[in-house]
């Protein structure tokens, strides 16, 4: 399994946000995208998730252009935006039930992704009473409970404590090892260590970047491009 993103374009009120953005990813790999605030990273992920419409381009998965078949997107991928896409008045269980049937949910809690994320410990807790880490775990759980082959993550580690970051990182490593494809926007050095390919989005253009673990050097590159 592989995905190929080609020529994604987007403009708002005459201002170009994305210019012919293209990259690919293979099964069991992670692509990391970095860039300054407002560079279009979140816009790109939201287009791939079917939340926003592109002005042009394609998103090929198993021979199908998902941008032209948006009805297939929910079955092909899971999406975790920056803000938690959860119903605040509902419990973790109720939020998850909106994403899958009861048997799938129970199976995942006993031996699947939800168990790895530790969600069984706060199933009856309303979202409004959850910590930021619990909300992030639940958001990822809602995205992966139906076992999609592609996972889009928009800054998954932002504002999380070290323990929560490590738990999520451990799950993402397993997701990759089982053949999943991760497309991740991040500013976190630990997240970048998980990536097989790294890109910088600047001025709407995606540039390949060889990340060698030196986050300070990457920050200097980003600073020079501002």
Segment 156-208, tens digit of pLDDT: 888 788 888 888 889 999 999 999 999 999 888 888 889 999 999 988 999 99
CATH architecture, range 2-225: 3-Layer(aba) Sandwich (3.40)
CA 99 to chain centre: 17
Tell me: the pLDDT tens digits for 8-58? 999 988 899 999 999 999 999 999 999 888 889 999 999 999 999 999 999
Beta-strand (E) ranges in the chain?
Answer: 2-12, 15-26, 30-34, 56-61, 64-65, 77-80, 150-154, 181-185, 197-202, 205-209
> Which pLDDT score, from 0 to 100, does residue 36 have?
83
Q: Please name every residue paired with 12 in a beta bridge, in sequence order, or none if there are none.
A: 15
The domain locations on the chain are 2-225
β-strands 64-65, 15-26 pairing: unpaired
Quick one: which of 14, 71, 23 has its CA closest to 185? 23
| Residue 173 contacts residue 113 (beta carbons within 8 Å) | no
């Amino acid at each position: 399994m592989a995905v190929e993103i080609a020529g994604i374009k987007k403009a708002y009120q005459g201002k170009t946000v994305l210019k012919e953005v293209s990259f690919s990813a293979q099964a069991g790999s992670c692509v990391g995208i970095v860039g300054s605030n407002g560079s279009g990273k979140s816009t790109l992920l939201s287009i791939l998730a079917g939340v926003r419409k592109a002005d042009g381009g394609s998103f090929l998965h198993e021979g199908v252009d998902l941008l032209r078949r948006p009805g297939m997107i929910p079955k092909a991928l899971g999406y975790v935006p920056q803000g938690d896409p959860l119903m605040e008045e509902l419990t973790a269980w109720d939020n998850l039930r909106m994403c899958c049937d009861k048997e799938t949910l129970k199976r995942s809690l006993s031996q699947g992704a939800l168990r790895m994320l530790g969600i069984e410990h706060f199933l009856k807790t309303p979202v409004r009473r959850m910590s930021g880490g619990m909300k992030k775990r639940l958001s990822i759980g809602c995205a992966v409970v139906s076992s999609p082959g592609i996972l889009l993550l928009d800054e998954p580690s932002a504002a999380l404590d070290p323990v929560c970051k490590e738990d999520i990182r451990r799950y993402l490593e397993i997701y990759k090892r089982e053949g999943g494809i991760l497309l991740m926007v991040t500013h976190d050095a630990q997240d970048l260590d998980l990536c097989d390919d790294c890109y910088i989005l600047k001025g709407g253009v995606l540039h390949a970047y060889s990340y060698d673990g030196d986050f300070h050097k990457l920050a200097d590159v980003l600073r020079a491009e501002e």
